Amino acid sequence: MNKAFFYLSFILMSTLSPLLALGVDKATIHTEKIILGSGCFWGAEKGYESLAGVTSAVSGYADGDGVSPIYTEITKLKNKFNMKNHAEVVEVTYNKNIISVRDLLMHYFESHDPTQVNRQGNDIGTQYRSIILYTNNEQKLAVEETVSAYQKLLSDAGYGKVATQIKPIKAFYKAETYHQDYIKKNPNGYCPDHSTGIKFSRTDKPTIFDNSKLSKGKHIVVIDAKGYCPYCEKFKSQVIKNYSGDIPLVFRFADQLSELEIDSPTWATPTILFLQDGKEFFGHQGYMTSKDFYRALGYFKLGDSDAYKVAFEEGTDPRYCEQYELFKNTPDGIFVDKISGSPLFDTKDRFNSASGWLSFTQPITGSVYTKSDNRFGMQRTEIRSVVSDIHLGHVFSDGPNGLNRYCINATVLEFKKRADTSLNKKINDEIKIE
């Protein structure tokens, strides 16, 4: 992780709303748990951890009654054929945006022999029974459909009936520490393969999403949900609906991030990622208010510059600054918000006030709002952008012909020739799932 990431994180954590400083908030969580037993949990745990979309795999015990959920108890001779003994299982937590429960179950059935009863190969006893403990009805339906499909494949190959027990989960007990990641810690440890060799037919090949356009320059990626996500819809309608800035913003699903270097977890939507040359510069899980989003975007674009301080810390450009000299005599066109790209002022309303700051008689209708500014012992009226809420300057009543004078900081503006701009408020063409 580079220094810029930590510095940006520090700035955001200390200056934005508490939302950014807390854990995941106002987000749709796309992780679920399912408990799978297929014999010895050591190798099974390793197998699940290798699957894209599995966020954790924890070895443990479940489905017992009257037997202490500890290894020394379930392995006692008296419990070897005890039907109330616990089974060795793995609690699998997975991101539904990346791997479906059906894909997970296909791996499960292919990795052991579900026709064997209370054993897997030479591992004999009720602790080794094939069992699935589901957490919701959607999982239950997927289990039943997958069992039915695999049973046909097994029967065609001469195998018997699937003996896998299917139940709702009641309790899961995490196994002792030495059992966790056992194969990782002991690469040559016991890990037999008891699979039947019967494979599901996978007609859908994994799609490698082309993100080459995101490998150069700055981009904003919003991780969206494949299903309904109220916070995603709120973010679209209340935050980025009017975004038309020059940093492209695109939507992606969690399984469409190939070739990108992402550090943030992808199981919550929306997740907003700021990328520099295909690498995550900063990420936030969950809904961001408009004010928080544009402040984060402002720092991402401007860094710790004078323009950032003017926009977000109510600073002021020096008189006759370099940007003023560039903007005072531009061709016909529109001045836009440097962060959001929203139109603010028209050159038709620009005049030379000899003040050293850009001056306009009026803003574009609906583009700014005013608020009282009594700092520094003065009574002034501040001008702020409606879309990004950045500080633009102040308005005074001493304009030409009795009109107002909007005194605006040039460093928070960008200029667009009239032929290159549209005043229609719309989402940037880049804001889409490509």
Catalytic residues: 40
Torsion angles phi and psi, residue 220, rounded to 5: -115, 125
Lookup: tokens for 260: 């990108």
Q: State the DSSP string of 85-128.
A: SPEEEEEEEEETTTS-HHHHHHHHHHTS-TTSSSEETTEESGGG
Asked if the bond preceding 270 is cis, omega within 30° of 0, the reply is yes
The secondary structure element, H or E, covering residue 293 is helix 290-302
Assign residue 45 a region: left if phi > 0, alpha if psi is -120 to 50, beta otherwise?
alpha
- The tokens for 341 are 């790209």
* Partner residues linked to 303 by β-bridges: none
Continuous segment of H or E residues that includes residue 54: strand 54-62
Are 171 and 60 a contacting pair, CB within 8 Å? no
- Angle made by CA atoms 356, 359, 363, in degrees to the nearest 5: 155
Collect all residues with Cβ–Cβ distance below 8 Å to 356 and sequence separation of at least 6. Answer: 318, 319, 320, 321, 324
C-alpha to C-alpha distances, 351 to 188, 314, 334, nearest whole angstrom:
79, 23, 14
**231 within 8 A of 289, measured Cβ to Cβ:** no
Q: C-alpha angle 319/324/327, rounded to 5°?
A: 160
**DSSP-assigned letters across all residues of 211-222:** -GGGSSSEEEEE
Tokens of 292: 């928080």
Q: By the 8 A CB rule, do 376 and 287 touch?
A: no
Residue 71 burial by Cβ neighbours in a 10 Å radius (0-12, 13-18, 19+): middle
For 105-217, list the strands marked E by DSSP.
119-120, 123-124, 130-134, 165-168, 172-174
